[in-house]
Amino acid sequence: MLSTICIIVFSLVFNSCMDSSGDTPNLNQKEFSLHPIYFPVKCIVAQEGSFKNIISCSAEAYPKRKVKILTKVAGRIEAIYGNENEYIKKGEMLFRTEDPQLEYSYQQALAKATRSAIDFALEYTSHNSEDDEITDFLSEIKELDFSKASTGTLRRLDKFLVSHRSLFVKASYSGFYDNLLNLRKCKQKVLDQKCRAPFSGYIVDLVVQRYQNVSTNQECLTLIDESEIIIKMDVLEEYIEEIKKYNEVTVNFPALPETSFSCNITSISPLVDPQTKTFEVECVIGNKQGRINSGMFAFCYISSSSIENAVVVPKSAIIFSGEKPAIFLASGSRALFTKVKLGQENPNQSVILAGIEPGDTVIYEGHSTLSTDAQIKIQQIDTVAYE
């Protein structure tokens, strides 16, 4: 059945191909019209001008300041005044500890210092000192409320005693000087129970909780300041002579694709990492809006040297024949394959040392499928080099 259908179909096709005389047509005599194929391309006019050598590298963002906050005295944490990732202003309280034994020691030191100050002032006054400074000093310590005296006041009294030898000797023998030092020490420890922010920033890595017992110099939290961001770049050692302080840097974050940040190099490390063969370069970016976070990855482009009167073309125009660079020039409606000698390059541009002249029309788009002498249709001609 299937073979019968195939025979019928073949007969119909054969008959339809017959001419009016009943003869089969001669397919070799049939005429075909062939149209030339034009490849659409975009071109740019090679020009002579200033070329900026740009060094590209990867980088990471770091906060302006990052400080681990430690306890200064042992005790129990009675209050924590900020939460994880909360912004704290400079001088605001971070946490407070308490130690009953420390409070007891302070009260003892206060009592001894007050009593010995009065005894010393009365004893020394009986010698009828003619020094007005010493007389004023004795009057001050006799009437001073040591419980309200600041550590600055106690430090001033200490310095005055040390600067007056006769007074210092008597204060040492009477025990007043030792009591004064002990009071200063205890008062400072009491003040150290209150921990305040040394600068404005965010609380991160909060590792303690309320009512937890802590020891001296125990880590409690980390405070970071992101008002400015330090960009740390790893640059290959081959560029070490081209990188200079204050060179311009363009920073692009993949997380912020619509924004580029400009800054200048602030520091250059003199050390090269023996494993990565890179050295560290830093720049600083203002971050008042808080768009950049610590740890963000970035691509950096460092402007180093400039070449004047260089023939510059888009980097996309360069192709390779084997390992040799070449480009296609537009000559009328045809593509002309031309070998060139490359100079320096940046992410967007290439310097051509030989092979073309300023004013030549260079194909930079649509040339991947071209062959020499291919017919082309120019869709666009740019008159300036890509930046």
In angstroms, rounded to a whole number, what is the distance separating the alpha carbons of residues 76 and 98?
5
Rounded to two decimals, what is the model's pTM?
Answer: 0.67
CB 357 within 8 A of CB 46: yes
Question: 246 burial class (0-12, 13-18, 19+ CB within 10 angstroms)?
Answer: exposed
The larger pLDDT score, comparing residue 234 to residue 319, is at: 234
Topology of domain 42-52+308-382 in CATH is 2.40.420
For residues 158-184, give the mean pLDDT: 92
Averaged pLDDT for residues 310-325: 85
- Whether residue 16 has pLDDT greater than 60: no
Could you read off the pLDDT of 327-377 as tens digits, one per residue?
998 888 888 898 999 888 777 788 888 988 888 888 888 888 888 888 888
Fold classification of 72-99+193-217 is OB fold (Dihydrolipoamide Acetyltransferase, E2P) (2.40.50)
For residue 338, give both structure tokens: 């031309």
Tell me the pLDDT band of 84, cut-offs 50, 70 and 90.
very high
Q: Give me the residue spans of the domains in the chain.
A: 42-52+308-382, 54-62+225-305, 72-99+193-217, 101-192
pLDDT for the residue numbered 36 = 75
Report the pLDDT value the prediction gives residue 367, as an integer from 0 to 100.
84
115-152 pLDDT, tens digit per residue, is 999 999 888 876 655 678 888 898 899 899 999 999 99
Residue 32 confidence (pLDDT) above 50 = no
- CA-CA distance, 116 to 221, in Å (whole number)? 41
Residue 14 has pLDDT above 60, yes or no: no
- Smallest CA-to-CA distance from 171 within 161, 163, 185 is with 161
Rounded distance between C-alpha atoms, residue 336 and residue 372, angstroms = 6
Average pLDDT of span 194-204:
95
What pLDDT does 18 receive? 45
Whether 247 and 265 have beta carbons less than 8 Å apart is answered as yes
CATH 2.40.30.170 assigned to 54-62+225-305:
yes
From CA 187, how far away is CA 206, in angstroms rounded? 27
Q: Is the pLDDT of residue 10 over 80?
A: no
